Amino acid sequence: MSLREEVLAANLALPGHGLVVLTSGNASGIDRERGLVAIKPSGVAYDVMTAEDLVIVDLDGNVVEGEHRPSTDTPTHVALYRAFDEIGGIVHTHSTWATSWAQAQREIPVLGTTHADFSAHPVPITRPLSEAEVDAEYEAATGEVIIEAVGEAGPLEVPAVLVRGHAPFCWAASPAKAVEAAVTLEQVAQLAAVTEQLEPGVAGLDELLLSKHHGRKHGPQAYYGQSR
């Protein structure tokens, strides 16, 4: 499957999972050897989008191929690709539950094993952008605060970040896996919100269970799923 086909499939999966409405959100993928990124065109509806509609940009965000303007979030995507060599796909949504946490300006705490399977860390919230950052290169600055929020843990340990007042960005080794991260994040966000409604101030997941569940799916001792 070509990069365009991979990225098209990832974009088309977003409305199917209920993660976007109308033309919001976007998915991208990168060809590391060529240093090129395929990304959704700005404002094009998912139900009419084709592989040819996708825009190819370099890691500075310059258009290399395509007749459309790339997503307005392109500077954020390329900033993440430049910073994180480990990732091969990025998904940005405005999904209801994850976006609600972003609008509440709160990180998502690790309250249960569903979250631990996804990440051993809370889903972080970015710091506020300064007036200068918003006025100058807003989308690029968004990428920088996401990178800051990931911190030393790295993008494989922190597979998603909430942009304060905005919405989530997720990533993984491929566009398809980035979609899976976005789907899982939405479930984690919903479970955490409902849990806090049922038990305000609930304690985080016990460290023993957190470590066990995360280790079953991640790292050298992982044993979840099939070996082939």
Catalytic residues: 117, 224
DSSP assignment of the chain equals --HHHHHHHHHHHHHHTT---TT--EEEEEETTTTEEEEPBTT--GGG--GGGSEEEETT--EEE-SSPBPTTHHHHHHHHHH-TT--EEEE---HHHHHHHHTT--B---SHHHHHH-SS-B-BPPPPPHHHHHTTHHHHHHHHHHHHHGGG-TTT--EEEPTTS-EEEEESSHHHHHHHHHHHHHHHHHHHHHHHHSTTPPPPPHHHHHHHHHHHSSTT--SS---
